[in-house]
Structure 1
Amino acid sequence: MEGNSRLQAHMIEHAFKQGSLAERVNEELMAAGYRGTVGDRTVRNWVTGKSRWPHQRRRDALTAVFGCTPACLGFYPPGMAAPPYEDPEVMLRRRFCTAAFALAAPALPAVDTRPTAVGTSDVIRLRGGLDRLTLLDQKQGGHAALERAALAGAAEAIGMQDRSASQTIRQRLFGVAAAYTTAAAWSCIDARRLDHAEQHVNEALRLAGLSQDSVALMRVWNSTSILAHQLGRHAESVAAAQAAQSCTITRRDPLFGSLAHARAAVAHADQGDRQAAIRSIGYAEEALERADTRPRPAWVAFYGPAELYALTGIVRRRLGQHAEAETASHHALAMLPATYRRNRAMTVVDLAVAQLHQGDVEQACATTEIAFTLMSGGPLPGRLRVLLGDFYRDLLTLASTTTVAREWADRYRSEWSSA
């Protein structure tokens, strides 16, 4: 097949098919902050020579994938003569023979050839570690080992600043470090180690500012709003949610915008501002309806219609609208994936609290059993323990003399308080 023989030779050497090359180029594009829009057809046009000079972003991505210039890959700008076609297999054999001759030459003293530069591949590798931490958080919730792993990732990203890198790569490394540090903060929030969480959030804000990465900044503000709620600083929680709304990514991507509005709704509900809370939930719903399926970081995969229903249930419950809270929690549980067992357990307890405040004590106590079943085989995250504590407090306040309340306390108090 004629066309771009140089690209064909490099694809053979790296064992790339058209589809796998498209995936790798998209990874580089997303690491650079762009949408991954390269498909099989795009690569086929490159291979056949139909597309002779890809867009600058794609040329940069191809350079990162193969480690050589666009000219070496057979691309040339308009007005320049095309390089002559040569059988890719012949090209590979000639390169192999050249390499073999070089190996047969007299050995020279060994030199340290370890790479001193940092590139896109390093950023992608570090981001892969973030995805693994997200999966660990979903499986086990916040815990000390996760916090340590996240801080180690941040330290590695910051340590790479001492090596040679472009300004763009340096900013991406700061963004990755901010993401790791936010992951550490979130782990502490979930485990209710709030003093550590506050330290990590402050450092993550500094790193996100250095990165100029709006996604990293939005993530930090989102965690800051949650932390402020946990600390009882409701005005600060509102301010952090509003700061998240002002990030560039929330204006460009409706899904992030929806999350920021939903977080603001919870913060307004904490302050007892019913009108602002309901208005923010409405904005969140409208934005989520406009959200598409573009690629996004793994940490935000939790957010969608199910999570918005869960947050709506929290807002309604804090506003004293317990029937509406129960309905929203039922909707959330119908949609939340089984793999999100902590999120499901939290929503189950929210549902139980809403049922309790409507006078359905037996049903509420039975509902909480589902949460314990969901989390069986592992410790209860700190946030879930606090929520169960809230349920128990309300149970004592509203139905302390009932048999079912005493039975619940006898059965679950030790399990919940010692978990």
Structure 2
Amino acid sequence: MASSSQASRAHPAHPNLVFRRLRGSRSPGEFATAVRRAAREIGEQVSCDARYIGRVEAGEIRCPNYAYERVFLHMFPGLTLTDLGFTAREDVRGRGRRAASDPPEARRPAPPFPPGRLFDGDPPSNDSDIDEESDVLRRAFMTSGSATVAAASLGLGFASGSGSGSVPAQRRVGEAEVGAVEEAVRRIRLLHDRHGADGLYRRAAQPLRAAYALLDTGTWSRRSTADRLHAGAGELAISVGWLAHDSGRFDDARSHYAEALATARVAGVPALEAHAFCNTSFLARDCGRYREAVRTAQAGGRAARQIASPRLLSLLALREAGGWAGLGDRAGCEQSLARAHRYFEQGPAPDDPEWMSFFAEPELEALQAQCWAALGDFTRAAHHARRAAALQDHRFTRNLALYRAELAADLACAGAPDEAAAAGEQVLALLGDVRSSRIRTMLADTARVLARHRRAEGVAAFLDHHASATRRVSPA
């Protein structure tokens, strides 16, 4: 992607037909899965999905970032980037090749903001899956004069205390601003996967305010830009809502999800509407509003039928199953679980929403475990929770800790205190890297169940270690 609107016009996108041929008969989603698998083989981590593959093939990504370069060259040994249909990196970035006739804006040095940092105060990130073209968006946004305040609020590398979330009246919104909103969504999700929600929620409010300020005061020349901005702002509201949800701020989460749903309805974005209903259903279940959980999951399913994504329908069926389980309706739960499996087995699809990258077999198992636990079948719940923990990629620490906490809780209620204590110890070992009120609450509940089994093997040690860890954790 070019680093400015001028550069974009000078270098119009040309489809990468070579890369399309290399994909062969695989769908974009299937090929993205192969890319992620190849990345793991060489110790890289890329957040490749069907949309990224589509952008490459459309020529929007003229040259991949270094992480993707290593992965692609690993997948196709003996070929170079140009052999794969990409443009030489120096031609894309323009290092040392700026023409004297380039506009001053294009020659202006990039501001000294480190790439890959969403919020002031975040530790330097080694994440290699943040596309290099996102750095170009950051620079274009930050050097566009009147957008500086909004860029700062979007967290694209800002100084402490900056960013009120306001945008000058009638700000022209283009690719750079929309890309910044979309990148903020991806960055929040990545940081949550690694570290949990508790340390992120308050800082994530600034990018959200800035995104909606762009909606309120911005103007755009193309309908597609407006549609993308509405979808991006709505997804950002859901991401911030999920941070609130996972950190136990349920009222805040409900407000953010409602904001996303309103945005979806106004803009007519069924994918965003389905996502908002999906998260609202999950929140309702966590709050004990089980009939609402069922109704909102069903509403999400109606919106999702406009999207060719069996996996999305599978997840919404699981949300509905969770509501039925909370109501004690075993038949309703089993029917929803069966429907979820039928959809899941259809596999990934090109139209799977980007946010659903988390929904793989480990999550399928974990959500089933939650249903069986709600129905009181803890042995069956423990079986699914154990599979979830075994299948989860260990680099996504938050989910690994969550699945093991679920396993510990299920084992404790199933009458296996020694195994529960062992699983609990594994969770405690991960809490140095993860801050999630949800996980701490689950572990505290497990400790209370195990308190009457102190004489069982490993239980006393776990209870002592848990008490010590609880004393060290400051309130969120």
TM-score by length of 2: 0.62
Which stretch of the first structure deviates more once superposed, 357-366 or 122-131? 122-131
Runs (5+) with no aligned partner, structure 1 = 1-9, 27-33, 44-57, 66-98, 104-111
State the 4+ residue runs in structure 1 displaced beyond 6 angstroms.
14-17, 19-23, 34-40, 99-103, 112-115
SS at structure 2 position matched to 1:286: helix
Residue 232 (structure 1) aligned with residue 288 (structure 2): yes
Task: Classify the secondary structure of the residue corresponding to 1:290.
Answer: coil
Residues 37 and 304 from structure 1, CA distance in 2 versus in 1: closer, same or farther, beyond 3 angstroms? closer
Higher Rg of the two aligned structures: 1
Distance in 2 (CA, whole Å) between partners of 1:413 and 1:39 is 50
Give the one of 442, 447, 466 matched to 1:392.
447
CA positional deviation for 1:211: 2.1
Whichever residue aligns with residue 408 of structure 1, its letter is F
Deviation at 1:169, TM superposition (A): 2.4
Cα distance in 2, alignment partners of residues 113 and 196 from structure 1: 33
Alignment of 1:201-280 (within 5 A): 201-248=257-304, 252-280=308-336
Shift of 1:157: 4.9
State how many pairs are aligned. 339
User: Residues of 2 paired with 1:123 and 1:393: CA distance?
Assistant: 48
Match in the other structure for 2:397:
341
Aligned to 2:173: 118
CA–CA distance in structure 1, aligned partners of residues 55 and 221 of structure 2: 29
Alpha-carbon distance in structure 1 between the residues aligned to 2:324 and 2:15: 52
Q: Give the equivalent residue in structure 1 for 2:466.
A: 412
Asked if 1:305 is matched to 2:348, the reply is no
Deviations 1:195-245 (A, max 9, x none): 222222222221121221122112211221122122222221222211211
Instruction: State whether residues 405 and 427 of structure 2, in contact with CA within 8 Å, keep that contact through their aligned partners in structure 1.
Output: yes
Aligned-residue offset at 1:164:
3.0
Would the alpha carbon gap of residues 251 and 294 (structure 1) be closer, same or farther in structure 2, given more than 3 Å must change?
closer
Q: Which has the higher helix share?
A: 1
Shift of the alpha carbon at 1:171? 2.8
Equivalent residue, structure 1, for 2:129: none
- Determine if contact 2:314/2:341 at 8 Å carries over to the other structure: yes
Q: Is the 1:148–1:184 Cα contact (8 Å) retained in structure 2?
A: no
Amino acid at match of 2:414: Q
Change (3 A) 1:291 1:150: farther
Structure 1 counterpart of 2:368, one-letter code: T
> Would you say 1:138 and 2:193 are equivalent positions?
yes
Cα distance in 1 for residues equivalent to 2:291 and 2:15: 54
In 2, the alpha carbon distance for the partners of 1:311 and 1:351 equals 12
Which residue is equivalent to 1:73? none
- Residue 357 of structure 1 and its aligned partner are, at CA, apart by 2.4
Q: Is 1:331 paired with 2:420?
A: no
**2:410 paired with 1:354:** yes
Show the counterpart of 1:199.
Answer: 255
C-alpha spacing 1:251/1:282, structure 2 compared with 1 (3 Å): farther
1:175 aligns with 2:231: yes
Helix, strand or coil for the counterpart of 1:354?
A: helix
1:168–1:324 Cα change, 3 Å: same
CA shift in 2, pair 1:101/1:358, >3 Å: closer
Give yes or no for the alignment of 1:373 onto 2:441: no
The CA deviation at 1:293 is 4.5
Q: State the shift of 1:38 in Å.
A: 6.3
How far 1:368 sits from its partner (Å)? 0.7
Q: 1:250 to 1:312 in 2, by over 3 A?
A: farther
Identity, % of aligned pairs? 24
Structure 1 residue 336, shift from structure 2 partner: 1.0
> Comparing 228-237 with 267-276, which one deviates more in the overlay?
228-237
Cα distance change on mapping 1:127 and 1:418 into 2, 3 Å: same
